[in-house]
Amino acid sequence: MRLSEIMDRTVSHHKLLSSNSGTPVIQLRLAGENRKHHEGRVEVFYNGVWGTVCDDDFSIYAAQVVCRELGFVDAESWSPSAKYGRGEGQIWLDNVYCAGGEKSLAQCGSNGFGVSDCKHSEDVGVVCNQKRIAGFKFIRNQANSEEVDERAVEDVRIRATYAHRKRVPITEGFLEVKDGGKWRQICNEEWTEMNSRVICGMYGFPGEKRFNRRKKNYWGFSVNCTGNEANLATCKLGRAIELKGNSTCGKGMPVVVSCVPGRAFAPSVSTGFRKAYRLEQPLVRLRGGAMIGEGRVEVLKNGVWGTVCDDNWNIRAATVVCRELGFGSAKEALTGARLGQGIGPVHMNEVECSGFEKSLTECHFNRDSLGCSHEEDAAVRCNIPAMGFHNRLRLNGGRNPYEGRVEVLAERNGSLVWGTVCSDSWGTMEAMVVCRQLGLGFASHAFQETWYWQGDSSADAVVMSGVRCSGTELTLDQCLHHGKYVHCPRGGGRFAAGVSCTQTAPDLVLSAQVVEQTTYLEDRPMYALQCAHEENCLSSSANKADASSYRRLLRFSSQIHNNGQSDFRPRAAPHSWVWHECHRHYHSMEVFTHYDLISLNGTKVAEGHKASFCLEDTHCDDGIQKRYECANFGAQGITVGCWDTYRHDIDCQWIDITDVKPGDYIFQVVINPNYEVAESDYTNNILKCRSRYDGQRIWTYNCRIGGSVSSEAEETFPGLLTNQLSHR
């Protein structure tokens, strides 16, 4: 019997209702060979045995019922004749007829359970839509249980020991379960390290230590975990513990769990943790996640970062990733590029982990990722420690919980008071940290005026100024700021900082291949560059150039993909867009890209060109509709799964290198350089190529996207790994 069956009366209640209504209680799963997570042979658990479904009379309506019962929004298709391999044992259902609205396959018409004249060569399979039903929770029923106990345990907690009561996070304490409204400790009789491993993982810690203390008032059961469970609720219930006299267990010792926090959450007073988590080149990282401890899984192989295909991706592999990165066990193993698509190669496929590996790279996997695309990139959401970050910051006055004036808790004259943040230098990076700290996702906008949001009048005073964030901080007070000596010339009030947050964000990535393949030189006469000259697309020396002279232009094409989870939209409203005579359309962003030629020591040798763009969907992936076009003052943006192409033969799509001497250089393109629009990942907004110019010809090679290669490979590309650009 599992703790989850004890901990949740509603599950038992659900089963009883199903049984009493006359509908048999079943459980479904997808199984078979050569399949994705959202497709497979339909198998039914009934009467304690797994069996299959015959394809006779099966329809898309039946497939819809199956997929929805499994938590997918819909079915895409179904397949007869054992496409996913032949099952074994019982064929539970035959001649299944569904109208499409049934809550369970058991409610559909059929010959009855076990009544069939089929063979396993007729086993039916389905392909479900990869999108999950929002808030869907899979209810474990009798497929994993032997009996139902009406005893209910309401909650589990770690109650800090006296020495740790003021520490954040709480890493050590008595393990207590809530039973009948009372908190009770667990006797350490038969308690194992695997049990502690599960508890620590639940609370966001990657490791555990041994610890014991004496106490009274025990819970009357032992627990038996394998160590791979994501929650204590999924561990098996051990035997009942004989409680003597005053409810003490035989050894008189309660379970005390002592966890090891990851490096990011380690107490600053402990140097031991710094030694335990040395800063080395990681082999695994997370990208594109809105919250701490979530993101697309990327692995380093041969100096190049790549993604993991979601075939067979499960909670066990996800937990290995989470613990490796200093978080607890995994809350979710996400498939279908749920946290955005990566770039580069797909390094791992069909990953199989025992759950105890130190790194994902130690797990078994198929090196052949044939058939995998970035639409199948795997991702994780990890348990993280309760740090109380959200208690030190709040949004006030907004129309909804995702927006408002930023108010922080600060110490003034020996007491804690709420106050506002000065909006001088306030931008998207600072807003990103606020939204992450509050668990509200990504920043949508950063506001330097908030007069339209009526915050708490007692919190009008400015208590924080000079805030500058890199975007990676966990809390706003980790960013650079003035400390106790506030300096805010404009004052607070209407100029207090504000934010709006969103659960999804775009992610723009420049195609390195297109840039590398389209660079060339053109000598163009000044009389043909009049329009471009007026728009400052040429070096300053062109101001004194004769109309019959020539300018040497390094031309190239830009192909900018949106790999994120929401459309990239300009911040400026249409009424403020600027008409560009050269391109004959409106530009919605004054500075969308920077084009530069840089010496190997980092000095600009060609005067940088700040290009403005009209943003539109030039092409889209199959099945995606274009939404944005520049013509006729149309809406501007880049749809998810689409890309905007600025061809090499368009005016201003160049760098003027007329005054550049022959030599070796770095050719650099930066998208959204001022972070004007929020994205889920800014590290991939920079592209650098090696360039060799001999005075007549130019060679462009080895183009790299920021963060796409290891730190060792970055040495010839300063700033490429971290994308540490000045954004003010």
Examine the pLDDT at 460 and tell me if it is beyond 50.
yes
* 3-state SS assignment for residue 602: coil
Residue with tokens 């706003």: 476
**Model confidence at 21: pLDDT above 60:** no
The pLDDT value recorded for residue 102 is 92
Contact 130, 51 (CB under 8 A): no
Q: Which three-class secondary structure string do you get for 224-266? A: ECCCCCCCHHHCEEEEECCCECCCECCCCCEEEEEEECCHHHC
CB atoms within 10 A of CB 14: 14
Of 440, 470, 502, at which residue does a domain stop? 502
Token pair recorded at residue 232: 């204590």
Going from the C-alpha of 639 to that of each of 411, 505, 679, 723, the distances in angstroms are 45, 11, 13, 24
Q: Is 623 a member of any domain?
A: yes
Which ranges of 128-234 would DSSP assign to H, the alpha helix? 193-202
User: With bands split at pLDDT 50, 70 and 90, how would you rate the model's confidence at 207?
Assistant: confident
Quick check: 147 pLDDT over 70?
no
pLDDT at position 10 is: 32
Peptide bond preceding 169: is omega within 30 degrees of 0, i.e. cis?
yes
- Rounded distance between C-alpha atoms, residue 297 and residue 275, angstroms: 26
**SS3 (DSSP) at 654:** strand
Say whether both 181 and 219 belong to one domain: yes
- The listed range with the strongest mean pLDDT (137-146, 165-174, 713-722) is 165-174
Distance CA 126, CA 29 (A): 11
- Indicate the range of 238-252, 380-394, 535-549 predicted with least confidence: 238-252
Across the range 150-161, mean pLDDT stands at: 64
Instruction: Judge if 400 and 373 occupy the same domain.
Output: no
- Is residue 463 included in any domain, yes or no? yes
Indicate if 162 and 244 belong to the same structural domain.
yes
Confidence of residue 372 (pLDDT cuts 50, 70, 90): confident
Which sign, positive or negative, has the C-alpha torsion 66, 72, 74, 77?
Answer: negative
Q: What is the pLDDT of residue 244?
A: 53
E-only strand ranges, 355-461? 364-366, 379-382, 393-397, 403-412, 415-421, 442-447
Last residue of a domain, one of 343, 365, 383: 383
User: Average pLDDT in the 136-142 region?
Assistant: 46
**Does 271 reside within a domain?**
no
DSSP, residue by residue, 685-703: GEEEEEEEE-SS-EEEEEE
Mean pLDDT of 420-426: 90
The tokens describing 99, both together, are: 């109208």
> For the ranges 124-138, 241-255, 507-521, 695-709, which has the lowest average pLDDT?
241-255
Given a cut of 80, whether residue 149 has pLDDT beyond it is: no
Residues 184 and 46 in one domain: no
Q: Of 357, 378, 186, 240, which is closest to residue 299 (Cα–Cα)?
A: 378
pLDDT value of position 60? 93
- The pLDDT of residue 276 is 40
* Residues 100-115 pLDDT 10s: 899 999 999 999 999 9
- Residue 475 pLDDT more than 80? yes
pLDDT at residue 130 greater than cutoff 90: no
Q: What is the pLDDT of residue 281?
A: 66
- pLDDT band per the 50, 70, 90 thresholds, residue 237: low
Q: What does DSSP assign to residue 269?
A: T
* Residues 289-302: tens digit of each pLDDT: 988 899 999 999 88
Chain-centroid distance, C-alpha 271: 30
Residues 402-420 have a mean pLDDT of 89
Residue 700 in this model has a pLDDT that exceeds 60? yes
DSSP letter, residue 483: T
CB neighbours (10 Å) of residue 209? 14
User: Is there a single domain that holds both residue 497 and residue 515?
Assistant: no
Which CATH number does the domain housing residue 301 bear?
3.10.250.10
CA distance 652 to 416: 54
Q: Return d(Cα 504, Cα 680) in angstroms, integer.
A: 8
Predicted confidence (pLDDT) per residue in 158-173, tens digit: 888 776 777 788 888 8
199, 326: one domain: no
Give the Cβ contact number of residue 7 at 10 Å: 22
Number of other CB atoms surrounding residue 166 within 10 Å: 8
Indicate whether 6 belongs to any domain.
no
User: How distant is the alpha carbon of residue 599 from its chain centre?
Assistant: 36
Q: Are 252 and 294 members of one domain?
A: no
Residue 223: pLDDT over 90: no
More confident residue, 263 or 691: 691
HSE at residue 339, side-chain half, CA atoms within 13 A, is 27
Residue pair 531/581 in contact by the 8 Å Cβ criterion: yes
Residue range 62-80: mean pLDDT, rounded: 91
**353 and 209 in one domain?**
no
Tokens 């506001």, residue located:
447
Model confidence, pTM: 0.72
What single letter denotes the amino acid at residue 439?
G
In a domain, 572, yes or no: yes
User: Considering the domain boundaries, does residue 527 fall inside one?
Assistant: yes
Answer yes or no: is 279 within a domain: no
Please state the rounded mean pLDDT for residues 24-49: 86
Residue 665's Cβ-count burial label (10 Å; 0-12, 13-18, 19+) is buried
Averaged pLDDT, 368-383: 86
Q: Of 40, 113, 121, whose CA–CA distance to 88 is shortest?
A: 121
- What's the confidence (pLDDT) of residue 273? 39
Residue 673 contacts residue 663 (beta carbons within 8 Å): no
Q: Around Cβ 38, how many Cβ atoms within 10 Å? A: 22
Say whether pLDDT at 668 is over 90.
Answer: yes
Q: Has residue 136 got a pLDDT over 70?
A: no
Across 51-55, 431-435, 599-603, least confident range: 599-603
Domain that holds residue 244: 155-260
Exposure of 554 by Cβ count < 10 A (0-12 exposed, 13-18 middle, 19+ buried)?
buried
Res 402 pLDDT > 70:
yes
Q: Above 80 in pLDDT, residue 80?
A: yes
Given this model, what pLDDT does residue 280 score? 58
Q: Which of 330, 365, 383 is the last residue of a domain?
A: 383
pLDDT averaged over every residue in the chain: 82
Number of domains in the chain: 5
Average pLDDT of span 547-566 = 92
Residue 139 lies in a domain: no
* 366 shares a domain with 474: no
The yes-or-no verdict on residue 714 having pLDDT over 60 is no
DSSP string of 561-573, one letter each residue: EE-SSS-B--SS-
Between 103 and 214, the more confident residue is: 103
pLDDT digits (tens, 9 = 90+) for 609-646: 666 678 899 999 888 899 998 887 888 899 999 999 98
In Å, what is the CA distance from 343 to each residue of 303, 313, 662, 684?
14, 19, 33, 9
Contact, 74 vs 64, CB < 8 A?
yes
Residues 214 and 298 reside in one and the same domain: no
DSSP label of 113: T
> Could you tell me if 458 and 418 are in contact, meaning their C-beta atoms sit under 8 angstroms apart?
yes
Distance (Å) of CA 419 to CA 180, 396, 409, 412: 42, 11, 7, 10
Is the pLDDT at 179 greater than 70? The verdict is no
The 3 state secondary structure assigned to 2-45 is EHHHHHCHHHHHHHHHHHHCCCCCCEEEEECCCCCCCEEEEEEE
**Is the domain of 358 the same as that of 379?**
yes
- pLDDT for the residue 134: 61
Among 115-129, 499-513, 578-592, name the one with the lowest average pLDDT: 578-592
Same structural domain, 629 and 531: yes
- Phi first, then psi: give them for residue 232, nearest 5 degrees: -60, -30
